[in-house]
A and B are shown apart, each in its own frame.
Chain A
Amino acid sequence: MLSSYRQAAVTALLTLWFATMSFVCSTLMIGHWVQLPVPKVGSRQAFVSESNTSESMKWRALHFLSSECVCSKRILNHLLQRDPLSEIEETIVIVGETDAIRESVAGSKFAIEWSTPEELKCRYGVDAAPLLVVFDYDGTIRYSGAYTARKQGFPIQDVQLIKRALAGESIQPLPLFGCGVSREMQSLTDPLGLKKK
């Protein structure tokens, strides 16, 4: 009798365990599998043309990264290993200011902007990272997408993508798999909040 109770209890525990772990694993995977939204190529962002002056009529490349996103950290580390390109104005926009990141970007020649998820969404229309967006003189988006052809795999193609955009090529945007930055996107990609660091 006791044995059958025990058997039933173990079976119930295993069922609960299986369901829980399946769900947890699935939620973990969503962030890796879901293709995140990016600003559309060809759309125009006013903040670029507004900031341009007659002395500095350069294209701009914005690297949107998140301090809570592992994928963003890998891109940041990659960017910090080179200098900004001379033919374009490159800025790294980081959501979530932390001491560690502040220290890591301290000696960089890149222009650094600190932002919040809300500001990012409001000002740039961006709610996912890591994202590369290339603007022309008047703020038209010439490239908007991920850095790598496969999910976060090598190679990181930032330089090639920027140069192709500068050359006037029409580039098929690489799909973005990464982290949601806005609350809305975070609740979609990390419903259990397990990825927050």
Chain B
Amino acid sequence: MSSKLNKLVEYMVLPPLDTELEFSYLKRINIIFLLSLTAHLPIFSFIAWFNDTGALLATVLTALTLVGPYAAYFGLTSQRQISVVMGIASMIMGGILVHIGQGSAQIEMHFYFFVMLSILVAYRNPLVIVAAAGTAAVHHFTLWALLPSSVFEHEAPFWLVGVHAGFVVVQAVAISIVARQFYDSTAQLEKRVAMRTVEVEYANREIRELLDSVQQGFLKLDCFGHIGSKHSRAVGDLLGDIPASKLFTDMLARHDRNAAEWFQMGLDDVFAGIMPLELTLEQLPKQLKSNSRYLSLEYAPIFSSGELTHVVVVVSDITAVVEREKLEVESREFMAIIDRIAADQVAFLEFFAEAESLINKLRERTSGVNDEIKRDLHTLKGNSAIFGLVRITQACHVIEDYIAENNELPASNLWTELFQAWASTRGNLRRLMSDTEIKVTLGDDEYSAVLLAILNNAPKAQLAKRVAAWRLEPTRRRLESMAEQTTSLGVRLGKGELNVEVKDNGLRTDPKHWAKFWSSLVHAIRNSVDHGIETCEERLRQNKPENGTIRLSTLIEGSNYVVSIQDDGRGIQWERIQSAARQAELPSETEHDLKDALFSVGVTTRSSATEISGRGVGMAAVRESCRSLGGVIEVQSILGEGTEFRFVFPIESMAHEMHTLLCKYGIDNPNAITCDTLPWQDQLVRTSENGREISGLEK
């Protein structure tokens, strides 16, 4: 018996509140009941007023009834206890309603109890139902105690009262069972949900730990570029906090505005689905510089039901890789410097001196863009490329690109790149040698020849000319250097192995004054290779030798010194020059106009610039340096056969200072010091078969 009673109690009394879900559910239901019961106040007052049963009495009684629920809600901590009070209060409300609703509908007002008992199932607690039904029972017992005949009205027998009470009991039992089953099923459901929640949280934690431990930034973007809620911690480390807008472009814009714009346009293309996905992903920005760090950006698409829904961005810190690559580039450059110095120390130092001068000019640049800056940049870029200084070449190219796109000088960061690259190169050079002194190195033959000439009392004029020639540079050295560059340029541009012929005619020039010209001449050579020489296939179609030929020569013509660059390429297409000149708003009517345009700033037949040519700056630099030495440029071109650029100078300009110096001491005939066919040429010391040195003077 007692075990059955225990089971009944166990059934009626729920186990302790053990889930947060149930607690919050009960709290929510209690609030709903509290508000509902409060709403009884105006409704009951209205009913009483309407039914003329005492609105004031109804208001007071309803307010007194509300004391219980409010005291419970704010005074009790157990949500279940509060819910029991709500159940009791709902029955008391019913009692008041029956009184104020007296009259023709008084019996109908009793339905309130049955409705409220049913609604109380929402508590999923049989005890609430029992408490409510018990309240009704207490009410009837009190009535019976006060006036027995009120319960047994009409002199009703016990069985009739039993039927009356039976309906309430049956309903209370039925809905108690429903409430308990409701509780059991939902509690199990809640437990299952709680279990699943724990599992999901565990999985989330594992993913979180994984995302927090990786060094790469992982984030997911939707089609608008919004960042998803889950991302690795490294995202914040690499790119900063997620912006309020959640837009990845805003995040990128903090570091690189151009990259952000580029990304947004690219992302639109990715989701537009017009172009192949691989192509559009490939077009998104791949690298980003954030303060002193280099970041790489990789992209991976996410599909759902075959449709692209998101893009995963992987952000990696590649600063170490970039720095290593920089060091490698620097190392390669260093090796190139060594090679160049070993091959032609004088030429390299001249290049270096000129580059230093250009760098200093660029450091003092004004804010506006002008032709001089463009020319200096282009010359620096071209010469740096020839001498294998990749970083300087690239830095110049980036600045040139910026100027071409924006027609203004770039911000200081691009210049800093250039100047840092130069400082590094200069530092490397100083590790090898002094970059400010040009030393004269004598070969054994020359040393012996001069010594013998002195010992043999050779004429002062002869000796002076011979020593003076030491500081003059054979043009062969320059031509051979350019020949080497021409050959490598041909390979780079896919023009095959060019035949480069050098003919110096034994001439020499003053290295100090001619350095700029020789440096700028490389532009003409690059134009010849890039524009003049056809590809091997094209040449074969035109029945030309497969490989093009370029002739580099220095010669004396009368009183002129001529530097010639001749190719057997396609010749100048003058109509294209004419079109380019018109585009640059230059005169283009006469042959002279077109030749002039050929060497003007901004005239190019290329639609886009490369690191080799295409900006319309190089040839203008050649003309500028030519003119500074008092020279003129002649162009001879036959379509399909080739072009010759002739740079014609007065012969005095070959070694002007030396000539002036010698003249001052009564020594004339400048040709004697600018040509290797000097009087003492025949006096060169030769080594005999037995090793004894003899001089021409002795012969």
Using a CB–CB distance below 8 Å, which chain A residues touch chain B? 3, 6-7, 9-10, 13-14, 17-18, 20-30, 32-35, 70-71, 73-74, 150-154, 175, 188, 191, 194-195, 197
Assess whether B364 is interfacial by the CB under 8 Å rule: no
Q: What residues of chain A lie closer than 8 Å to B88, measured between beta carbons?
A: 18
Tell me whether A188 and B147 are in contact in the complex, defined as CB-CB below 8 angstroms, given that A21-B92, A26-B142, A73-B52 are known contacts: yes
Q: What residues of chain A lie closer than 8 Å to B150, measured between beta carbons?
A: 29-30, 33-34
Q: What residues of chain B lie closer than 8 Å to A17, measured between beta carbons?
A: 64, 67-68, 71
Nearest CB of chain A from residue B591's CB, rounded to whole Å: 108
Assess whether B488 is interfacial by the CB under 8 Å rule: no
Q: What residues of chain B lie closer than 8 Å to A153, measured between beta carbons?
A: 103-104, 106-107
Residue contact A21 to B65, C-beta cutoff 8 Å? yes
Tell me whether A10 and B149 are in contact in the complex, defined as CB-CB below 8 angstroms, given that A20-B64, A28-B99 are known contacts: no
Q: What residues of chain B lie closer than 8 Å to A14, measured between beta carbons?
A: 68, 71-72, 85
A23–B65 Cα distance when bound, in Å, is 12
State the main secondary structure of chain B at its contact with A. Answer: helix
Residue contact B75 to A6, C-beta cutoff 8 Å? yes
Residue contact A22 to B139, C-beta cutoff 8 Å? yes
Residue contact A7 to B71, C-beta cutoff 8 Å? no
Assess whether B151 is interfacial by the CB under 8 Å rule: yes
Q: What residues of chain A lie closer than 8 Å to B106, measured between beta carbons?
A: 32, 151-153
Set B75, B85, B153: member contacting A33, Cβ < 8 A? B153
> Which residues of B (115-148) have their CB < 8 Å from a CB of A?
135, 138-139, 142-143, 146-147
Nearest chain A residue, comparing its CB with the CB of B151: A33
Residue contact B98 to A29, C-beta cutoff 8 Å? yes
Using a CB–CB distance below 8 Å, which chain B residues touch chain A? 51-54, 57, 61, 64-65, 67-68, 71-72, 75-77, 85, 88, 92, 95-96, 98-99, 102-104, 106-107, 135, 138-139, 142-143, 146-147, 149-151, 153-154
Q: What residues of chain A lie closer than 8 Å to B149, measured between beta carbons?
A: 34-35
Set A3, A10, A34: member contacting B153, Cβ < 8 A? A34
Nearest CB of chain B from residue A77's CB, rounded to whole Å: 10
Residue contacts A-B, CB under 8 angstroms, 28 given:
A7-B76, A7-B77, A10-B72, A13-B75, A18-B68, A18-B88, A21-B92, A22-B139, A23-B142, A25-B96, A26-B139, A26-B143, A27-B146, A28-B95, A28-B96, A28-B99, A29-B99, A29-B139, A30-B143, A34-B153, A35-B154, A70-B52, A70-B53, A70-B102, A71-B103, A152-B103, A152-B106, A197-B54
Nearest CB of chain B from residue A120's CB, rounded to whole Å: 22
A14–B142 Cα distance when bound, in Å, is 18
Q: What residues of chain B lie closer than 8 Å to A25, measured between beta carbons?
A: 92, 95-96, 99, 139
Nearest chain B residue, comparing its CB with the CB of A188: B147
Nearest CB of chain A from residue B176's CB, rounded to whole Å: 20
Tell me whether A34 and B75 are in contact in the complex, defined as CB-CB below 8 angstroms, given that A17-B68, A152-B106, A153-B106 are known contacts: no
A6–B77 Cα distance when bound, in Å, is 10
Residue contact A151 to B139, C-beta cutoff 8 Å? no
Closest 6 CB pairs of A and B: A10-B75, A33-B150, A25-B95, A26-B142, A28-B99, A17-B68
Q: What residues of chain B lie closer than 8 Å to A152, measured between beta carbons?
A: 102-104, 106
Nearest chain A residue, comparing its CB with the CB of B142: A26
A9–B75 Cα distance when bound, in Å, is 9
Residue contact B52 to A22, C-beta cutoff 8 Å? no
A154–B72 Cα distance when bound, in Å, is 41
Residue contact B71 to A10, C-beta cutoff 8 Å? yes
Q: What residues of chain B lie closer than 8 Å to A6, measured between beta carbons?
A: 75
A154–B105 Cα distance when bound, in Å, is 9
A64–B147 Cα distance when bound, in Å, is 24
Residue contact B104 to A22, C-beta cutoff 8 Å? no
Nearest CB of chain A from residue B89's CB, rounded to whole Å: 8
Nearest chain B residue, comparing its CB with the CB of A191: B146
Tell me whether A32 and B98 are in contact in the complex, defined as CB-CB below 8 angstroms, given that A10-B76, A25-B92 are known contacts: yes
A27–B106 Cα distance when bound, in Å, is 16
Q: What residues of chain A lie closer than 8 Å to B147, measured between beta carbons?
A: 30, 33-34, 188
Set B64, B102, B143, B151: member contacting A21, Cβ < 8 A? B64
Q: What residues of chain A lie closer than 8 Å to B65, measured between beta carbons?
A: 21
Q: Which among A9, A24, A27 has the greatest number of chain B C-beta atoms within 10 A? A: A24
A18–B54 Cα distance when bound, in Å, is 23
A20–B276 Cα distance when bound, in Å, is 81
Nearest CB of chain A from residue B98's CB, rounded to whole Å: 7
A27–B95 Cα distance when bound, in Å, is 10
A30–B102 Cα distance when bound, in Å, is 12
Nearest CB of chain A from residue B99's CB, rounded to whole Å: 4
Residue contact B151 to A74, C-beta cutoff 8 Å? no
Nearest CB of chain B from residue A26's CB, rounded to whole Å: 4
Residue contact B146 to A30, C-beta cutoff 8 Å? yes
Q: What residues of chain B lie closer than 8 Å to A175, measured between beta carbons?
A: 153-154
Q: What residues of chain A lie closer than 8 Å to B68, measured between beta carbons?
A: 14, 17-18, 21
Residue contact A24 to B61, C-beta cutoff 8 Å? yes
Nearest CB of chain B from residue A129's CB, rounded to whole Å: 14
Residue contact A29 to B143, C-beta cutoff 8 Å? yes
A150–B153 Cα distance when bound, in Å, is 12
Q: What residues of chain A lie closer than 8 Å to B142, measured between beta carbons?
A: 22-23, 26
A175–B149 Cα distance when bound, in Å, is 13
Nearest chain A residue, comparing its CB with the CB of B92: A21
A175–B77 Cα distance when bound, in Å, is 49
Apart from the given pairs A29-B98, A70-B103, 19 other A-B contacts in the complex at a CB distance below 8 Å: A3-B77, A6-B75, A7-B75, A9-B75, A14-B72, A18-B88, A18-B135, A21-B92, A25-B96, A25-B139, A26-B142, A29-B143, A33-B151, A33-B153, A70-B53, A71-B103, A74-B103, A151-B107, A152-B102
Nearest chain B residue, comparing its CB with the CB of A9: B75
A33–B68 Cα distance when bound, in Å, is 26
Nearest chain A residue, comparing its CB with the CB of B99: A28
Q: What residues of chain A lie closer than 8 Å to B71, measured between beta carbons?
A: 10, 13-14, 17
Residue contact A33 to B143, C-beta cutoff 8 Å? yes
A152–B151 Cα distance when bound, in Å, is 17
Residue contact B102 to A32, C-beta cutoff 8 Å? yes
Nearest chain A residue, comparing its CB with the CB of B65: A21
A28–B96 Cα distance when bound, in Å, is 8
Tell me whether A22 and B135 are in contact in the complex, defined as CB-CB below 8 angstroms, given that A34-B149, A191-B146 are known contacts: yes
A25–B154 Cα distance when bound, in Å, is 21
A13–B72 Cα distance when bound, in Å, is 9
Nearest CB of chain B from residue A79's CB, rounded to whole Å: 16
A24–B99 Cα distance when bound, in Å, is 11
A150–B103 Cα distance when bound, in Å, is 10
Q: What residues of chain A lie closer than 8 Å to B67, measured between beta carbons?
A: 13, 17
Q: What residues of chain B lie closer than 8 Å to A154, measured between beta carbons?
A: 104
A182–B286 Cα distance when bound, in Å, is 102
Residue contact B95 to A29, C-beta cutoff 8 Å? yes
A197–B48 Cα distance when bound, in Å, is 13
Nearest CB of chain A from residue B462's CB, rounded to whole Å: 121
Nearest CB of chain A from residue B68's CB, rounded to whole Å: 5
Q: What residues of chain A lie closer than 8 Å to B53, measured between beta carbons?
A: 70
Nearest CB of chain B from residue A80's CB, rounded to whole Å: 15
Q: What residues of chain B lie closer than 8 Å to A194, measured between beta carbons?
A: 57
Nearest chain B residue, comparing its CB with the CB of A197: B54
